[in-house]
Amino acid sequence: MARIIDGRAIAEGVYGQLRGEIAELKARGITPGLAVVLVGDDQASRAYVRSKDKMCRELGLHSVKLELPANTTQEELLARVDELNRDNAVHGILVQSPPPKQIDEAAIIRALDPGKDVDGFHPLNVAKLALGDDSGFVPCTPLGCQRLLVEARIDIDGAHVVVLGRSMIVGKPVALLLMQKARHANATVTVVHSRSRNLQEITRSADIIIAGIGQAHFVKAGHVRDGAVVIDVGINRVDDASVPRGSRLVGDVAFDEVAQKASAITPVPGGVGPMTIAMLMANTVKACRQAAR
Protein backbone atom coordinates (compact mmCIF):
# COMPACT_ATOMS: atom_id res chain seq x y z
CA MET A 1 0.00 0.00 0.00
CA ALA A 2 1.34 3.40 -1.02
CA ARG A 3 2.43 6.09 1.39
CA ILE A 4 -0.11 8.92 1.30
CA ILE A 5 1.43 12.31 0.52
CA ASP A 6 -0.56 14.64 2.75
CA GLY A 7 -0.99 17.94 0.89
CA ARG A 8 -2.72 19.62 3.82
CA ALA A 9 0.13 18.88 6.23
CA ILE A 10 2.76 19.96 3.69
CA ALA A 11 0.81 23.16 2.99
CA GLU A 12 0.79 23.87 6.74
CA GLY A 13 4.58 23.61 6.73
CA VAL A 14 4.71 26.11 3.85
CA TYR A 15 2.50 28.50 5.83
CA GLY A 16 4.81 28.16 8.82
CA GLN A 17 7.74 29.32 6.68
CA LEU A 18 5.71 32.09 5.07
CA ARG A 19 4.63 33.44 8.45
CA GLY A 20 8.28 34.00 9.29
CA GLU A 21 8.92 35.82 5.99
CA ILE A 22 5.77 37.91 6.39
CA ALA A 23 6.80 38.89 9.93
CA GLU A 24 10.19 40.07 8.59
CA LEU A 25 8.53 42.16 5.88
CA LYS A 26 6.10 43.65 8.39
CA ALA A 27 8.99 44.54 10.66
CA ARG A 28 10.23 46.66 7.72
CA GLY A 29 6.79 48.27 7.45
CA ILE A 30 5.71 46.24 4.40
CA THR A 31 2.58 44.08 4.25
CA PRO A 32 2.30 41.77 1.23
CA GLY A 33 -0.99 42.31 -0.59
CA LEU A 34 -3.00 40.12 -2.93
CA ALA A 35 -5.91 41.25 -5.09
CA VAL A 36 -8.29 38.62 -6.41
CA VAL A 37 -10.68 39.74 -9.13
CA LEU A 38 -13.85 37.76 -9.73
CA VAL A 39 -16.10 38.59 -12.66
CA GLY A 40 -19.57 37.03 -12.56
CA ASP A 41 -21.12 34.59 -10.14
CA ASP A 42 -19.76 31.15 -11.05
CA GLN A 43 -20.21 29.20 -7.82
CA ALA A 44 -16.95 27.22 -8.00
CA SER A 45 -14.97 30.41 -8.77
CA ARG A 46 -16.69 32.16 -5.88
CA ALA A 47 -15.64 29.37 -3.52
CA TYR A 48 -12.02 29.53 -4.74
CA VAL A 49 -11.94 33.31 -4.29
CA ARG A 50 -13.36 32.98 -0.77
CA SER A 51 -10.72 30.48 0.27
CA LYS A 52 -7.91 32.62 -1.18
CA ASP A 53 -9.22 35.67 0.70
CA LYS A 54 -9.55 33.65 3.90
CA MET A 55 -6.01 32.35 3.66
CA CYS A 56 -4.66 35.88 3.08
CA ARG A 57 -6.39 37.03 6.23
CA GLU A 58 -5.12 34.08 8.25
CA LEU A 59 -1.57 34.93 7.22
CA GLY A 60 -2.05 38.63 7.92
CA LEU A 61 -1.72 39.67 4.28
CA HIS A 62 -3.51 42.67 2.82
CA SER A 63 -6.37 41.15 0.82
CA VAL A 64 -8.42 42.90 -1.84
CA LYS A 65 -11.43 40.97 -3.09
CA LEU A 66 -12.92 42.63 -6.15
CA GLU A 67 -16.27 41.19 -7.19
CA LEU A 68 -17.51 42.53 -10.52
CA PRO A 69 -20.87 41.85 -12.17
CA ALA A 70 -21.22 39.23 -14.91
CA ASN A 71 -21.84 41.95 -17.53
CA THR A 72 -18.53 43.75 -16.86
CA THR A 73 -16.96 44.82 -20.15
CA GLN A 74 -13.41 44.19 -21.29
CA GLU A 75 -12.66 47.93 -20.95
CA GLU A 76 -14.02 48.07 -17.40
CA LEU A 77 -11.98 45.05 -16.38
CA LEU A 78 -8.84 46.45 -18.03
CA ALA A 79 -9.38 49.69 -16.09
CA ARG A 80 -9.58 47.79 -12.79
CA VAL A 81 -6.47 45.79 -13.64
CA ASP A 82 -4.67 49.03 -14.43
CA GLU A 83 -5.68 50.47 -11.04
CA LEU A 84 -4.37 47.37 -9.28
CA ASN A 85 -1.15 47.47 -11.31
CA ARG A 86 -0.58 50.98 -9.95
CA ASP A 87 -1.66 50.23 -6.36
CA ASN A 88 1.53 49.98 -4.24
CA ALA A 89 -0.28 48.06 -1.49
CA VAL A 90 -1.04 45.25 -3.96
CA HIS A 91 1.88 42.98 -4.83
CA GLY A 92 -0.02 40.14 -6.46
CA ILE A 93 -3.03 40.19 -8.78
CA LEU A 94 -5.11 37.26 -9.89
CA VAL A 95 -8.12 37.30 -12.18
CA GLN A 96 -10.17 34.22 -11.39
CA SER A 97 -10.73 31.92 -14.34
CA PRO A 98 -12.96 31.36 -16.24
CA PRO A 99 -14.31 34.88 -16.88
CA PRO A 100 -17.62 35.44 -18.70
CA LYS A 101 -17.66 35.05 -22.50
CA GLN A 102 -17.34 38.74 -23.40
CA ILE A 103 -13.93 38.87 -21.69
CA ASP A 104 -10.78 38.13 -23.67
CA GLU A 105 -8.86 36.36 -20.92
CA ALA A 106 -5.52 36.31 -22.75
CA ALA A 107 -5.67 40.10 -23.22
CA ILE A 108 -6.42 40.57 -19.51
CA ILE A 109 -3.43 38.43 -18.58
CA ARG A 110 -1.20 40.43 -20.92
CA ALA A 111 -2.41 43.63 -19.22
CA LEU A 112 -1.21 42.47 -15.79
CA ASP A 113 2.03 43.88 -14.49
CA PRO A 114 4.24 40.76 -14.91
CA GLY A 115 5.83 41.55 -11.53
CA LYS A 116 2.38 41.13 -9.93
CA ASP A 117 1.28 38.12 -12.00
CA VAL A 118 1.32 35.62 -9.13
CA ASP A 119 -0.56 33.04 -11.23
CA GLY A 120 2.41 32.96 -13.61
CA PHE A 121 0.31 33.13 -16.77
CA HIS A 122 1.71 36.35 -18.30
CA PRO A 123 3.82 35.62 -21.43
CA LEU A 124 6.88 37.12 -19.72
CA ASN A 125 6.56 34.69 -16.82
CA VAL A 126 5.95 31.76 -19.18
CA ALA A 127 9.14 32.77 -21.02
CA LYS A 128 11.09 33.04 -17.77
CA LEU A 129 10.00 29.53 -16.81
CA ALA A 130 11.10 28.23 -20.21
CA LEU A 131 14.40 30.08 -19.83
CA GLY A 132 14.97 28.88 -16.29
CA ASP A 133 15.01 32.46 -14.94
CA ASP A 134 13.82 32.14 -11.37
CA SER A 135 12.89 35.82 -11.01
CA GLY A 136 9.58 34.97 -12.72
CA PHE A 137 6.42 33.43 -11.32
CA VAL A 138 5.66 29.76 -11.87
CA PRO A 139 1.96 28.77 -11.98
CA CYS A 140 0.76 27.68 -8.55
CA THR A 141 -0.42 24.13 -9.31
CA PRO A 142 2.83 23.00 -11.00
CA LEU A 143 4.82 24.68 -8.24
CA GLY A 144 2.67 22.84 -5.70
CA CYS A 145 3.32 19.49 -7.42
CA GLN A 146 7.08 20.08 -7.28
CA ARG A 147 6.94 21.14 -3.63
CA LEU A 148 4.92 18.03 -2.72
CA LEU A 149 7.58 15.83 -4.31
CA VAL A 150 10.38 17.70 -2.57
CA GLU A 151 8.74 17.68 0.87
CA ALA A 152 7.83 13.99 0.48
CA ARG A 153 11.54 13.36 -0.28
CA ILE A 154 10.90 11.88 -3.71
CA ASP A 155 14.03 12.05 -5.85
CA ILE A 156 13.19 14.04 -8.99
CA ASP A 157 16.77 14.24 -10.29
CA GLY A 158 17.12 11.85 -13.24
CA ALA A 159 13.65 10.37 -12.70
CA HIS A 160 11.34 9.70 -15.63
CA VAL A 161 8.31 11.93 -15.04
CA VAL A 162 5.29 11.31 -17.23
CA VAL A 163 2.84 14.23 -17.26
CA LEU A 164 -0.71 13.58 -18.44
CA GLY A 165 -2.16 16.76 -19.96
CA ARG A 166 -0.57 19.71 -21.77
CA SER A 167 -2.57 22.74 -20.61
CA MET A 168 -0.87 26.05 -19.83
CA ILE A 169 -2.15 25.77 -16.24
CA VAL A 170 -0.91 22.29 -15.38
CA GLY A 171 0.78 20.02 -17.93
CA LYS A 172 3.06 22.32 -19.88
CA PRO A 173 4.41 24.35 -16.95
CA VAL A 174 4.94 21.30 -14.72
CA ALA A 175 6.91 19.68 -17.57
CA LEU A 176 9.03 22.82 -18.03
CA LEU A 177 9.60 23.11 -14.29
CA LEU A 178 10.71 19.55 -13.68
CA MET A 179 12.97 19.34 -16.75
CA GLN A 180 14.93 22.43 -15.71
CA LYS A 181 18.65 22.09 -15.13
CA ALA A 182 18.20 22.98 -11.50
CA ARG A 183 17.82 21.71 -7.98
CA HIS A 184 14.56 19.80 -7.39
CA ALA A 185 14.29 19.21 -11.12
CA ASN A 186 16.58 17.52 -13.72
CA ALA A 187 13.84 15.04 -14.58
CA THR A 188 13.45 13.25 -17.89
CA VAL A 189 9.97 14.45 -18.82
CA THR A 190 7.45 12.92 -21.20
CA VAL A 191 4.12 14.67 -21.80
CA VAL A 192 1.12 12.69 -23.01
CA HIS A 193 -2.26 14.05 -24.10
CA SER A 194 -5.44 13.07 -25.89
CA ARG A 195 -3.61 12.37 -29.16
CA SER A 196 -0.81 10.26 -27.67
CA ARG A 197 -0.36 6.72 -28.96
CA ASN A 198 0.47 3.93 -26.50
CA LEU A 199 -0.29 6.15 -23.54
CA GLN A 200 -0.40 3.24 -21.11
CA GLU A 201 2.97 1.93 -22.25
CA ILE A 202 4.47 5.36 -21.63
CA THR A 203 2.94 5.87 -18.20
CA ARG A 204 4.11 2.40 -17.18
CA SER A 205 7.70 3.50 -17.71
CA ALA A 206 7.30 6.45 -15.32
CA ASP A 207 9.03 6.79 -11.98
CA ILE A 208 6.67 9.68 -11.27
CA ILE A 209 3.22 10.21 -12.86
CA ILE A 210 1.56 13.63 -12.73
CA ALA A 211 -2.05 13.42 -13.91
CA GLY A 212 -3.86 16.64 -14.91
CA ILE A 213 -6.43 15.78 -17.57
CA GLY A 214 -9.80 16.32 -15.92
CA GLN A 215 -11.03 12.73 -16.45
CA ALA A 216 -12.31 11.04 -13.31
CA HIS A 217 -10.42 7.86 -12.39
CA PHE A 218 -8.64 7.71 -15.77
CA VAL A 219 -5.31 6.43 -14.43
CA LYS A 220 -5.79 2.79 -13.47
CA ALA A 221 -3.45 0.23 -11.91
CA GLY A 222 -2.54 -0.88 -15.45
CA HIS A 223 -1.03 2.56 -16.15
CA VAL A 224 1.37 2.37 -13.21
CA ARG A 225 4.47 0.30 -12.57
CA ASP A 226 5.15 -1.12 -9.11
CA GLY A 227 6.70 1.50 -6.86
CA ALA A 228 5.91 4.57 -8.97
CA VAL A 229 4.95 7.88 -7.35
CA VAL A 230 1.58 9.30 -8.41
CA ILE A 231 0.57 12.95 -8.15
CA ASP A 232 -3.12 13.50 -8.91
CA VAL A 233 -3.97 17.04 -10.02
CA GLY A 234 -7.49 16.27 -11.25
CA ILE A 235 -10.59 17.68 -9.61
CA ASN A 236 -13.73 16.05 -11.01
CA ARG A 237 -17.22 16.06 -9.59
CA VAL A 238 -18.95 12.69 -9.86
CA ASP A 239 -22.44 11.61 -8.82
CA ASP A 240 -22.62 9.69 -5.57
CA ALA A 241 -26.07 8.92 -4.18
CA SER A 242 -24.54 7.71 -0.89
CA VAL A 243 -23.52 11.23 0.22
CA PRO A 244 -26.00 13.95 1.24
CA ARG A 245 -24.86 16.31 -1.52
CA GLY A 246 -25.40 13.67 -4.20
CA SER A 247 -21.91 14.17 -5.61
CA ARG A 248 -18.28 14.23 -4.54
CA LEU A 249 -14.86 15.28 -5.82
CA VAL A 250 -12.45 12.71 -7.21
CA GLY A 251 -9.13 12.91 -9.00
CA ASP A 252 -7.88 11.70 -12.37
CA VAL A 253 -6.49 8.60 -10.65
CA ALA A 254 -8.43 5.51 -9.55
CA PHE A 255 -7.01 5.93 -6.07
CA ASP A 256 -7.89 2.58 -4.47
CA GLU A 257 -6.39 0.37 -7.14
CA VAL A 258 -3.41 2.61 -7.94
CA ALA A 259 -2.49 2.91 -4.26
CA GLN A 260 -1.96 -0.88 -4.25
CA LYS A 261 0.91 -0.49 -6.74
CA ALA A 262 2.37 2.97 -6.17
CA SER A 263 4.99 3.69 -3.52
CA ALA A 264 3.48 7.12 -2.78
CA ILE A 265 0.30 8.87 -3.92
CA THR A 266 -1.60 12.10 -3.34
CA PRO A 267 -5.28 11.92 -2.38
CA VAL A 268 -8.13 14.05 -3.81
CA PRO A 269 -9.12 16.08 -1.93
CA GLY A 270 -6.16 16.85 0.33
CA GLY A 271 -3.28 16.51 -2.12
CA VAL A 272 -2.43 19.04 -4.81
CA GLY A 273 -5.41 21.33 -4.05
CA PRO A 274 -4.16 22.72 -0.71
CA MET A 275 -0.70 23.18 -2.24
CA THR A 276 -2.04 25.32 -5.07
CA ILE A 277 -3.33 27.93 -2.66
CA ALA A 278 -0.19 27.69 -0.52
CA MET A 279 1.93 28.42 -3.62
CA LEU A 280 -0.30 31.40 -4.44
CA MET A 281 0.51 32.81 -1.01
CA ALA A 282 4.21 32.01 -1.54
CA ASN A 283 4.20 33.76 -4.93
CA THR A 284 2.53 36.81 -3.35
CA VAL A 285 5.23 37.01 -0.68
CA LYS A 286 7.89 36.61 -3.40
CA ALA A 287 6.29 39.43 -5.44
CA CYS A 288 6.31 41.64 -2.35
CA ARG A 289 9.96 40.86 -1.57
CA GLN A 290 10.94 41.64 -5.16
CA ALA A 291 8.99 44.92 -5.12
CA ALA A 292 10.56 45.91 -1.78
CA ARG A 293 14.13 45.56 -3.09
Looking at the annotation, which residues are catalytic?
Answer: 52, 96, 119
Q: Nearest distance from residue 5's CB to ligand NDP, in Å?
A: 13
274 binds ligand NDP (CB under 6 A): no
Give the footprint of ligand NDP on residues 126-145 (CB under 6 A): 141
Stretch that binds ligand NDP, among 35-43, 112-120, 163-171, 257-265 (CB under 6 A): 163-171
Which residue in 36, 112, 213, 253 binds ligand NDP (CB under 6 A)?
213
Which residue in 30, 36, 170, 219 binds ligand NDP (CB under 6 A)?
170
Burial 79-101 (b: 16+ CB within 10 A, else e): ebbeebbeeeebbbbbbbbebbe
273 binds ligand NDP (CB under 6 A): yes
Which residue in 234, 255, 265, 281 binds ligand NDP (CB under 6 A)?
234
Other CB atoms closer than 10 Å to residue 221's CB: what's the count? Answer: 15
180 binds ligand NDP (CB under 6 A): no
Peptide bond into 98 cis (omega under 30): yes
Measured CA to CA in angstroms, residue 136 lies from 117, 123, 133, 149 at distances of 9, 10, 6, 21
Q: Nearest distance from residue 191's CB to ligand NDP, in Å?
A: 8
Mention every residue, 6+ apart, whose C-beta is less than 8 A from residue 101: none
Measured CA to CA in angstroms, residue 118 lies from 16, 91, 192, 260 at distances of 20, 9, 27, 37
Of 146 and 276, CB closest to ligand NDP: 276
